[in-house]
A and B are shown apart, each in its own frame.
Chain A
Amino acid sequence: MESSRKPTQDEMRLLEFLVQKATIKFPSGWNINLLVRPLNDEGMGSLQLIPEGVAIDRDRLLGEQVSECQFADEDGVEVIASLNIDGAGKLFELDIWKTDFSPLIGIPKKLE
């Protein structure tokens, strides 16, 4: 598994979009010191989310999906992005599923 890092601007834009439309309200500052770690999905872009105060190596389980959106990648293939929280309600995963299982080319500038 890759090492943790700060999210890119594109990743953060997608995260902010999903947090804004989530079924639960996240505390302000949810993105401060947020780290991410790419999941091994062969380039589709899914991320493990490691909020401040959560140990990087702590085993966590999926709690529930709280938000999702769909967009077209640059090649026209539909992508479904989901925001998952763990059992404690902490940010857990950004699941990005390019529906033909090919690598994600990019996150669009405008999300709807």
Chain B
Amino acid sequence: MGPGKWLPIASGKIESDYTFESIYVGGAVLKPAFLAARAAISRLFGVTAAKTGSNLTIQFGKGANQVSHAFRHTDALGLNRAVVKSAVETHFRGVSSQIVAGKPFNQIIEVVGQRIQYTAFKLKDGTINIGRIHGVK
């Protein structure tokens, strides 16, 4: 599933890139209907999501291969990808005010008893990309 984008609104201004949230179930990527509906409503009214901790745009990759690449180490540890993803997102939203654009933001969390480090990176447009997710001792 590729990233969704805001469509140009009436003024002709393109609001910003937006990546739909995804849920991973048994390796398949599902886009919940409500997210699609929310995106459609937002496009209709030209609403841009505010970049607050609760609705930050967070990406783990632009395509399925990159998402798999991001989670390869936690996959190898036997951790459920959806659980790791959710834990990272939840944790990051709580500390997102600390990230500095252009600098890697390394955080260690615990997922199912396993210490995990992830790296977040804030792009100039405010998008948060997350990579380098792996276990640490």
Binding site for B on A (CB under 8 A): 39-42, 44, 46, 61-62, 64-65, 70, 78, 80, 82, 84, 95, 97, 99-102
Tell me the B73-127 residues at the A interface (CB within 8 Å): 73, 76-77, 102, 104, 119, 121, 123, 127
A42, A62, A100, A102: which contacts B73 (Cβ < 8 A)?
A: A62
User: Does B129 lie within 8 Å of A78, measured CB to CB?
Assistant: no
User: Does B134 lie within 8 Å of A40, measured CB to CB?
Assistant: no
User: Does A101 lie within 8 Å of B61, measured CB to CB?
Assistant: yes
A84 to B73, CA, bound (A): 11
A70 to B132, CA, bound (A): 13
Pull 14 A–B residue pairs with CB atoms less than 8 Å apart, ordered by A.
A40-B65, A44-B66, A44-B69, A62-B134, A70-B104, A78-B102, A80-B119, A80-B121, A80-B131, A80-B132, A99-B123, A100-B127, A100-B129, A102-B62
User: Does B137 lie within 8 Å of A64, measured CB to CB?
Assistant: yes
User: Does B66 lie within 8 Å of A42, measured CB to CB?
Assistant: yes
Q: What's the nearest-Cβ distance from chain B to residue A58, in Å?
A: 14
Q: How many A-B residue pairs have CB under 8 A?
A: 56
Q: What's the nearest-Cβ distance from chain A to residue B91, in Å?
A: 19
**Chain B contact residues (Cβ within 8 angstroms of A): what range?**
20 to 34
A40 to B77, CA, bound (A): 19
Residues of B near A64 (CB, < 8 A) are: 136-137
Residues of A near B72 (CB, < 8 A) are: 39
User: Does A40 lie within 8 Å of B68, measured CB to CB?
Assistant: yes
B135 at interface by CB-CB < 8 Å = yes
Q: What's the nearest-Cβ distance from chain B to residue A88, in Å?
A: 15
Residues of A near B135 (CB, < 8 A) are: 62
Binding site for A on B (CB under 8 A): 59, 61-63, 65-66, 68-69, 72-73, 76-77, 102, 104, 119, 121, 123, 127, 129, 131-132, 134-137
A74 to B119, CA, bound (A): 22
B65, B102, B132, B137: which contacts A42 (Cβ < 8 A)?
A: B65
User: Does B129 lie within 8 Å of A99, measured CB to CB?
Assistant: yes
User: Does A65 lie within 8 Å of B134, measured CB to CB?
Assistant: yes
Residues of B near A70 (CB, < 8 A) are: 104
Residues of A near B69 (CB, < 8 A) are: 39-42, 44, 46
Q: Which residue of A lies closest to B72 (CB)?
A: A39
A20 to B22, CA, bound (A): 40
A9 to B129, CA, bound (A): 29
